[in-house]
């Protein structure tokens, strides 16, 4: 059974940093794209970052480019999202999601498994 | 980025009703359109991928159709557990984008 468990959320001041982690199990970790999808309170879904199975290719939404960094650790089967220069607009629940294809370029990917989410609140 | 627009934003329906939700892309996405269901406080759940393929475990009352820029999610007979918010998502380009969501409420 696939399990994705996010951690690291919390309250942070504007301009601060936070590091989210997603612990994955139940599948061949290195064979799938992993993504972070966020949802601001009462709003829709936004895919903020994705990384291929070997970590060689990444993608970022324009809204976080230059501030967020995605990485993965194959020894611990974890995906990490380092978030810097946070603003109130980054306040959201952040979900970790597994893509069915191991590519951020090839069309046709979709998220077949999701974590339960971790809440990030940016406020003074 | 490709913009995804869902309609309606919300709808009220009764158990047993046939419900359709539309998703329109700002450019052709060649069928690379997925549908998710989300209930309050929960993660999204994949229902349909690549326009019309039903995800394993999803009831057959859910179906998807469309091509080019226009896509539809249909629930043939609405059940109590189907009251939720539905999102479309395109994965044609590297910037995967979602529609704004359609909330299905009880009439």
What digits encode the pLDDT tens for the residues A35-93?
Answer: 999 999 999 999 999 999 998 999 999 999 999 999 999 999 999 999 999 999 999 99
- Judge whether B87 is closer than 8 Å to chain A, CB to CB: yes
User: Would you say residue B81 has pLDDT above 90?
Assistant: yes
DSSP element (H, E) containing A10: strand A10-12
Q: Which residue among B46, B50, B93 sits closest to A111, beta carbon to beta carbon?
A: B46
Whether B46 and A110 lie within 8 Å, measured CB to CB: yes
Residues of B in contact with A111 (CB under 8 A): 34, 36, 44, 46, 89
**Dist. CA B35–CA B90, nearest whole Å:** 9
Whether B43 and A117 lie within 8 Å, measured CB to CB: yes
Q: Which residue among A46, A50, A95 sits closest to B43, beta carbon to beta carbon?
A: A95
Interval A5-19 mean pLDDT? 98
**Dist. CA B75–CA A54, nearest whole Å:** 38
Percentage of chain B lying above the pLDDT 90 cut = 97
Residues of B in contact with A108 (CB under 8 A): 32, 50, 91
Banded model confidence at residue A105, pLDDT cuts 50, 70, 90: confident
Banded model confidence at residue A102, pLDDT cuts 50, 70, 90: confident
């Amino acid at each position: 059974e696939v399990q994705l468990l996010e951690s690291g959320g919390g309250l942070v001041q504007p301009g601060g940093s936070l590091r989210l982690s997603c612990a994955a199990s139940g599948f061949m970790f290195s064979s799938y794209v992993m993504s972070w999808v966020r949802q601001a309170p009462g709003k829709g879904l936004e895919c903020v970052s994705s990384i291929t199975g070997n970590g060689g290719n990444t993608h970022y939404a324009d809204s976080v480019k230059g501030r967020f960094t995605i990485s993965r650790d194959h020894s611990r089967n974890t995906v990490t999202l380092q978030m810097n220069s946070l603003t109130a607009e980054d306040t959201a629940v952040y979900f970790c999601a597994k893509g069915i294809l191991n590519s951020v370029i090839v069309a046709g990917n979709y998220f077949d498994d999701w974590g339960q989410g971790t809440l990030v609140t940016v406020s003074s | 980025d490709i913009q995804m627009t869902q309609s309606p934003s919300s709808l009220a329906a009764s158990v047993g009703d046939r419900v359709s939700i539309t998703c329109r892309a700002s450019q052709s996405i060649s069928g690379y359109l997925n549908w998710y269901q989300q209930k309050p406080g929960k993660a999204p759940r994949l229902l349909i991928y690549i326009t019309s393929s039903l995800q394993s475990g999803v009831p057959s009352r859910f179906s998807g159709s469309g091509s080019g820029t226009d896509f539809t999610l249909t629930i043939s007979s609405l059940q109590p557990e189907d009251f939720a918010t539905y999102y479309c998502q395109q994965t044609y380009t590297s910037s995967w984008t979602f529609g704004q969501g359609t909330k299905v409420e009880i009439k």
